[in-house]
Amino acid sequence: MAAPAAPAAPRAVRNVVFVDGVRTPFGKAGPKGMYAETRADDLVVKVIRELLRRHPELPAERVDEVAVAATTQIGDQGLTIGRTAAILAGLPKSVPGYAIDRMCAGAMTAVTTSASGIAFGAYDVVIAGGVEHMGRHPMGEGVDPNPRFLADKLVDPSALVMGQTAENLHDRFPHLTKERADAYAVASQAKYAAALKAGKISADLVPVATRSAEHGWGLATADEPPRPGTTMEALAGLKTSFRPHGRVTAGNSAGLNDGATAALLADEETAAELGLPVGMRLVGYSFAGVDPEVMGVGPVPATEKALRRAGLTIDDIGLFEINEAFAVQVLAFLDHFGIADDDPRVNPWGGAIACGHPLASSGVRLMTQLSRHFAERPDVRYGITTMCIGIGMGGTVIWENPHWNGGDK
């Protein structure tokens, strides 16, 4: 009988870096939106190709995995979209791919899952991102929730309607008033408009050819959802969307949107070998569950968990990119951690209330913008990307600035 094999040597955890991220311009969902006649998988193809175009120092065959998220994985968002989009984008057929779903945090989970593979040594370079074409595939299309959710009272009926969960947050925290939510939304629009004027937004965008049977070919070069010049007076007059005399409106929420994102991640030594830039270093991440009927509070326990595991506190964080699914959800996070509604560290270029939230794609938008902030802010050492997630979850990723010059944060 042969002697048992010697145990494998312990693996060292490798440093994971965010090299770069790009996205399509975000469009309004629906028949009048700019992507109404554009396929979802073609949006993913555009962002993958753009990453490779921007980084000719990366041989395509060195990509070890393509992870693409979609919340509604049917039609042109189905068929294992990470693999099919990789083939359509021209990557070698030896490059594998897969699809992933964690609702709004799909792209965030694509990053954390594939980054874990890099840290373990299974990959050296990956592409991770997400897509959502809410015009073609409304959230919940084709799903069949188990009747026991309601029959056994496992969740409140409102848990399956995201806007109603935002109203529930207002109920639970009455000091988070509609006026505060509207003021936050106005500020998001203003910050986005200022960043756009300063040329901060366009650097992340890849132009997309669009087709319309009525209007012919076009080129999407800018986000469609923003409403520059939004005022408190205008928001005060909007109807509440999910409850009579409620507090959640189209003005203090992200809209229904179409778009795709992709990021390039690598082991830090591999990035150095290939000459790839380093935008951020991954410090840690956590996901946490909360009561589904108040899913918007999810970023709070997720952030607490991530900070605890990283040995950091909220005072160590110098920049925050928080997904603005609903203004009240951001306010709940800020209040919990004692951060002012207008703290300049939070979403410096505005957020999803202005530019849009194509569900599974948004996590990489947050990361890409944080990476851009880091490049301009060597005084900041740590930043986080965080978001609430449908069915009662939150996700937070902590990043370190490679350009940090030894300042306070």
CB proximity list for 339: less than 8 A, separation 6 or greater? 314, 320, 333, 345, 346
d(CA 264, CA 78): 22
Helices (H), 98-177: 106-120, 148-151, 162-172
175 is catalytic: no
Can 388 be counted among the known catalytic residues? yes
**DSSP alpha helices (H): ranges in 160-238?**
162-172, 178-197, 232-236
Contact status, residue 170 vs residue 247, Cβ threshold 8 Å: yes
Q: Which residue is catalytic, options 133, 137, 170, 357?
A: 357
Whether the CB-CB separation of 66 and 85 falls below 8 Å is answered with: yes
Distance CA 394, CA 299 (A): 4
DSSP string, 331-375: HHHHHHTT--TT-TTB-TT--HHHH---GGGHHHHHHHHHHHHHH
Spatial CB neighbours of 244, under 8 Å, sequence gap ≥ 6: none
| 3-class DSSP assignment, residue 304 | helix
Determine which one of 104, 133, 137, 355 is catalytic: 104
Query: 208-212 and 257-267 as β-strands: parallel, antiparallel, unpaired?
Result: unpaired
402 is written with which tokens? 């490679």
Active site residue 357: yes
The CA R_g of the chain, rounded to the nearest whole Å, is 21
The catalytic residue positions are 104, 357, 388
